[in-house]
């Protein structure tokens, strides 16, 4: 592959990636979303965080769910149900995880 062909390929891929990422943003910039879509989009951060936490906590390559992680998950679930505050839930879960990890 020549130098010029390599540059053309890199620039083409870069422009294509830019268009794919900015296209939907620019296309929807002046439109309003239905209330149901806005309500569902507000749930995305909590759903992504939950998926990451459960995936990391129950990692089968690490031997499954360990007691310290289980205690942190239970404490975070109770805190989430009680306060309904994401920052408080994270703080409780991390605190319990740090304490139980230090004790085991």
Q: What is the mean pLDDT of the chain?
A: 88
How much is the pLDDT for 53?
Answer: 76
Q: What is the pLDDT of residues 30-80, one digit of tens each?
A: 888 899 999 998 999 888 888 887 787 777 776 677 888 889 989 999 999
Q: How many residues does the chain have?
A: 104
How much is the pLDDT for 46?
Answer: 83
Percent of the chain with pLDDT over 70: 97
| In the chain, where the domains are located | 1-31, 34-103
d(CA 97, CA 85): 18
- Of 57 and 6, the structure prediction assigns the larger pLDDT to 6
Distances (CA, A) of 88 to 19, 32, 77, 81, 102: 39, 32, 11, 11, 21
Q: Is residue 98 over pLDDT 80?
A: yes
């Amino acid at each position: 592959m020549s130098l010029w062909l390599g540059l053309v390929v890199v620039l083409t891929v870069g422009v294509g990636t830019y268009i794919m990422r900015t296209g939907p943003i620019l296309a929807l910039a002046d439109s309003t979303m239905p209330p149901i879509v806005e309500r569902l989009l507000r749930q995305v951060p909590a759903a992504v965080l939950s998926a990451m936490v459960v995936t990391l906590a129950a990692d089968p390559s690490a031997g499954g769910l360990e007691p310290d992680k289980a205690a942190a998950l239970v404490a975070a679930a109770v805190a989430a149900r009680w306060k309904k505050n994401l920052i408080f839930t994270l703080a409780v879960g991390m605190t319990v995880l740090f304490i139980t990890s230090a004790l085991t």
